[in-house]
Chains A and B, each alone.
Chain A
């Protein structure tokens, strides 16, 4: 397992700064394992947020309340070629 993979979630969450973030950015661009890992963690994070929204909507629907969807935290946009 790549040593960088244990810091992927913090990188996705923009919790890294300066040199640390730049180093991670450069690494992810060349490491297929980390790219796949980042994409998977991004999917899981999005699915968890969808689940929370659906849970809140389920309770609201039972009460007859209509609430607009709330978009969660902003994560790093993954895009590489």
Chain B
């Protein structure tokens, strides 16, 4: 299956409108959703599987006349829950979000800039490890472009709690590392 193709769960002719909507959402969201899952601790293959499963669930949800409100947070919540279920079913510890080394340096960087960037990521990585799990997850969802209301819907928190959590997390990172 190509990277931009939507997984088919239902006959196209019957659900053309829903498919069109699902296709647009897939084009918009599959990359940030996949990145979110990888940063949550899933492997690349697992993240891709969860993204596909989440969009199949979305098609079924739309075909069953499910609510189209807050569809972005609905999709992230489904993916988040599938990721947790997958981890638990394999009997593995749910890896702490962002708890992995960063090695990637863009090819076009000069060696000096690459070294500085690596040092910055090391400082940031240490600071991120000091955040609570909910602080990390709120920042991850925020980095994916979700509004505070949507983050609250994924995390089961009020919008004001999300605002406080994001504020606290950003201030902790600012205190811990000079980026």
Residues of A within 8 A of B (CB): 6-10, 13, 15, 40-41, 43-45, 47-63, 65, 67-68, 70, 72-74
Main secondary structure of the interface of B (DSSP, over half): helix
Interface contact tally, CB-CB below 8 A: 100
Contact between B100 and A52 (Cβ–Cβ < 8 Å)? no
Taking CB atoms, residues of chain A closer than 8 Å to B102 are 51, 54-55, 58
Distance in angstroms between the alpha carbons of A9 and B162 in the assembled complex = 11
Residues of B within 8 A of A (CB): 31-32, 34-35, 38-39, 43-45, 98, 100-105, 120-121, 124-125, 128, 139-140, 142-148, 163, 166-167, 170-171, 173-174, 179
Distance in angstroms between the alpha carbons of A45 and B100 in the assembled complex = 19
Contact between B147 and A72 (Cβ–Cβ < 8 Å)? no
Task: List 27 contacting pairs A-B, 8 Å CB cutoff, sorted by A.
Answer: A6-B167, A7-B167, A9-B167, A9-B171, A13-B142, A13-B166, A41-B171, A41-B174, A44-B179, A47-B120, A51-B98, A51-B102, A51-B121, A51-B125, A52-B39, A52-B98, A52-B143, A54-B103, A54-B104, A54-B105, A55-B38, A57-B104, A58-B103, A59-B43, A59-B44, A62-B44, A70-B31
**Taking A15-B148, A56-B39, A73-B146 as contacts, is the C-beta distance between A47 and B166 under 8 angstroms?**
no
Contact between A58 and B143 (Cβ–Cβ < 8 Å)? no
Taking CB atoms, residues of chain B closer than 8 Å to A47 are 120, 124, 173, 179
Contact between B179 and A67 (Cβ–Cβ < 8 Å)? no
B123 nearest CB neighbor, chain A only: A47
Contact between B100 and A55 (Cβ–Cβ < 8 Å)? yes
Taking CB atoms, residues of chain A closer than 8 Å to B120 are 47
Closest A-B pairs by Cβ, 9 of them:
A57-B104, A47-B179, A73-B145, A58-B104, A54-B102, A9-B167, A56-B35, A54-B104, A63-B44
Taking CB atoms, residues of chain B closer than 8 Å to A9 are 163, 166-167, 170-171
| 20 further A-B pairs in the complex, CB-CB below 8 A; given A48-B139, A50-B121, A72-B144 | A6-B167, A8-B167, A13-B148, A41-B174, A45-B143, A45-B170, A51-B128, A52-B39, A54-B105, A55-B38, A55-B39, A55-B100, A55-B104, A56-B35, A57-B104, A58-B104, A61-B104, A70-B31, A73-B144, A73-B145
